[in-house]
Amino acid sequence: MLRKIYLISAFIVACLTLNQATAQSVPAANSDRTYKIFGVVWRGETEVEAGFQEYLNQRGVPYQMTIRNLNLDRGNAPGIIEEIKQAKPDLVYTWGTGTTRSILGKVNEPESDHLVRDIPGIFVLVAYPVSAEIVSSFEYPGRNVTGVAFLASIKAQINSMLAYRPFKKIAVIYDERSSNSRINVSQLEEIVPQMGLELLVFPIPKKEDGTSDPEAVPELVQKAKDSGADVLYMGPDSFITRHGEAYTAAAMKAGLPTFASTQSPLRNTRAMFGLVSDYHTLGKLAAVQAERILVDGEKPEDLPVARLSRFKLWINIDVASDLGLYPPMNLISIADFKQSQVN
């Protein structure tokens, strides 16, 4: 019934106005079915999913989207995979490196009942999709999965730090067990010296069970301060993000600003600033990929991983003023000013 009304109204609109905009809605109106999209997120829905759905709605793509939450636990994956196999959706949407790997698996992994392999996939919020072996390259994914990259280049990140203040020593505290962090640090080690700056690297010591010790983070922050660091760099590191509050509290105590490469520490901790992608825009970009797969019938293996060309400079002004590091005037009209949501 709803679909009939939609078709009729779309037809009327197309008849009334013969311009380009309505012409674009025609393929959607002509297609004879509603696309089923199955989304899996890591820790609840975010702005990315909102942007994703908003774009599809704007384009008039008939779809129905189901979203399941892993709730920070990979152990919840098998149940969801079972559900996906029964629902037989047209597209699977995954949020984050862990989610994507536990639902869609690695690029060269053999066929398995425990993974979704035969349905096209789109990933978002994966920091290093190639290193994480989700696709074989940005240009040619090498399987029926593509997605959107969300990190700004290291160079752009460092440049935005320098636009704020002429920092000299950058300290990075990271979880050695996380592949994302290892890749991130090796990139920093390559690029930071090239830009005439110094990089101080502090891996988090491990507990007896082999996992990184959260208790050690505040000490490392103080250690960084004592080594002469003037800014802390927070990479796409889920361990650090998880313990972000303690990390940034220590940073505030030491009087060090924290730069973040992802949105979540800026939103949830006392990180001072960061060059991040806008989640809503990111979701729209993913939806562009989805539309090409669903409506235009393109194959994910032919679609390169998409990148945003613009990032936003997020500044938590309350953190900046607590540190006495006011933003320079040249950034006033460029930056997005927020209040960190931590008291």
Partner 1 sequence: MNFKAVRQERENSDIKEFLTNQKGLLTRMVLLSVVVLLIGQLAVSWFALLGFEKELSPQLSQKAQAVGNAISSELAFAVGELNIPPDQLVGVEEYFDNYLQSNKDIEYLAIIDSSGKTLFVRGIDPQSINTILTELKSNRTGNSNFETDVQGYLDGAFSIDETLAGTTELHVGVTSEHIRNQFFEMIFEILTVIAISWLVTFEFLAFYMRRSISRPIHHIRTVLAEGSRGVFANRLVERSKDEIGQLITSFNNLVQDLQIKYNDFVFEVVELKHAQIDDSIGRKIARVREKFDEKFILSGGRDVHSRHVVQIRVPLFLFIFSEELSRSFIPLFVSKYAPTDMILSHDILIGLPITLFMLAVMIVTPFGGGLVDRFGVRRIFLLGVLFAVIGFIGNFLTQTYYDLILFRILTGVGYSLIFVASEGWVVQNAEEHNRTASTGIFVTAVFVGIVCGPPIGGMLANRIGFEATFLISACLAVISGLIVYQVFRTDDDIHRLRRKRIVLRKEDMITLLKDPRFFSVLFFTAIPAKMALAGFIAYLVPLYLTELGHNESSVGRLMMLYGLATLSCIFISARFADLTRKYVQVVFVGGLLAGIGCIASLFSHKIGISDTGAVVLAILALGFGHAMIMTSQNAMILMVAGNHADTIGRATAVSAYRVFERTGMVIGPLVAVALIAQFGYHDAIAGFGVIILTLILLFMLIMTISKSEIGENQSLYTPER
Binding mask 283-322 for partner 1 (x = CB under 8 A): ----------------------------------x---x-
Q: Which of left, alpha, beta for 44 (phi over 0: left; psi -120 to 50: alpha)?
A: left
Distance (Å, whole) CA 232 – CA 226: 13
CB of 160 to partner 1, least distance (A): 14
CB 262 within 8 A of CB 279: no
Minimum distance from CB of 324 to partner 1 (Å)? 8
**Closer Cβ to partner 1, 191 or 331, answer by number:** 331
Q: Is residue 333 near partner 1 by the rule CB under 8 A?
A: yes
Give φ, ψ of 274 to 5 degrees.
Answer: -175, 155
159 near partner 1 (CB under 8 A): no
Q: Does 328 bind partner 1 (CB under 8 A)?
A: yes
Q: Are 42 and 98 in contact (CB under 8 A)?
A: yes
Verify binding: residue 255, partner 1, rule CB under 8 A.
no
Tell me the CA end-to-end span of the chain in Å, nearest whole number.
50
Closer residue to partner 1 (CB): 10 or 335: 335
In angstroms, what is the minimal distance from the CB of 317 to partner 1?
A: 5
Number of residues that bind partner 1 (CB under 8 A): 11
Bridge-based pairing state of the strands 273-276 and 312-316:
antiparallel
Q: Given candidates 159, 186, 330, 341, which one binds partner 1 under the rule CB under 8 A?
A: 330
Binding window for partner 1 (CB under 8 A); candidates: 24-32, 143-151, 177-185, 329-337:
329-337
- Output the CA–CA distances (angstroms, integers) from residue 318 to 12, 266, 272, 326, in the order listed: 52, 12, 8, 10
Residue span binding partner 1 (CB under 8 A) among the ranges 106-114, 129-137, 242-250, 327-335? 327-335
Q: Which is nearer to partner 1, 175 or 230 (by Cβ)?
A: 230
- Is the Cβ of residue 137 or residue 321 nearer to partner 1 in the bound state? 321
- DSSP lists the bridge partners of residue 38 as 66, 92
Name the residue with tokens 């078709």. Answer: 7
Please identify, using beta-carbon distances, which residue of 220 and 335 lies nearer to partner 1: 335
Listed residue (247, 249, 216) closest to 234, CA to CA: 247
Asked if residue 100 lies in contact with residue 70, where contact means CB atoms within 8 angstroms, the answer is no
- Closer residue to partner 1 (CB): 79 or 328: 328
Residue 195 CA, distance from chain mean position: 26
Pick the binder of partner 1 from 6, 138, 140, 337 (CB under 8 A).
337
How many CB atoms lie under 10 A from the CB of residue 131?
15
Q: Which region among 53-61, 203-211, 305-313, 326-334 touches partner 1 (by CB under 8 A)?
A: 326-334
Q: Nearest approach, Cβ of 274 to partner 1 (angstroms)?
A: 17
Among 44, 64, 112, 326, binds partner 1 (CB under 8 A): 326
Shortest reach from residue 323's CB to partner 1, in Å: 12
The reply on whether position 327 binds partner 1 by CB under 8 A is: yes
162 interacts with partner 1 by CB under 8 A: no
**Which among 45-53, 99-107, 138-146, 323-331 is the span making contact with partner 1, rule CB under 8 A?**
323-331
Classify each residue of 21-40 as buried b or exposed e, where b means 16 or more C-beta atoms within 10 Å of its C-beta: ebeebeebbeeeeebbbbbb
Shortest Cβ distance from residue 78 to partner 1 (Å)? 49
CA distance 266 to 246: 14
Strands (E), 51-203: 63-69, 91-95, 121-126, 145-149, 169-174, 198-203
Rounded CA separation 39/122 (Å): 9
Q: Which is nearer to partner 1, 119 or 335 (CB)?
A: 335
Specify the 3-state DSSP secondary structure of 306. Answer: strand
Where along the sequence are the contacts to partner 1 (CB under 8 A)? 317, 321, 326-333, 337
